[in-house]
Amino acid sequence: MADPNASAGKSGLADSRPLSPHLQIYRWPITMTMSILHRVTGGALYVGTLLLAWWLLAAATSPSAFAWVQWVIGSPIGLLILFGYTWALMHHMLGGIRHFIWDFGHGLGPGERDTYAWANLIGSVVLTVLIWLIGLLAF
């Protein structure tokens, strides 16, 4: 039995079919990106909270244990992790507020969804920078 698709390229039938979206032409919607980031930041918050518990346990254990944890957290890599934890917390919080607004039926239009998603991203970066500036200026 002959393959019905074998001659499709010769007749021009294959050329008239639409292409599936592929990485060269497909652009992720901002709402999908924010949904994925919301899940990733939730996981990051879990790990960051374990670090917070480590810090509290060290503070309750001994001055030397606390000094060691303070040294680790105060290192450039530790500060970068804390900055990322702060951003994850702000991003996840704003994403939760966005979903809470959606639960009331507001902001569900196509343009509004994108606006809220961009506000979530930009707001989380701005809040993180503000928190760190205030924290660094206070000490």
Q: What is the pLDDT of residues 87-107, one digit of tens each?
A: 999 999 999 999 999 999 999
Q: Please choose, from the candidates 43, 27, 137, 28, the residue with its C-alpha nearest in 3D space to the C-alpha of residue 91.
A: 43
Q: What is the pLDDT of residues 42-81, one digit of tens each?
A: 999 999 999 999 999 999 999 999 999 999 999 999 999 9
CA angle 125, 127, 131 (to 5 degrees): 120
Give the E-state strand segments of 44-120 in sequence order.
Answer: none
Q: Which residues contact 27 (CB under 8 A, 6 or more apart)?
A: none
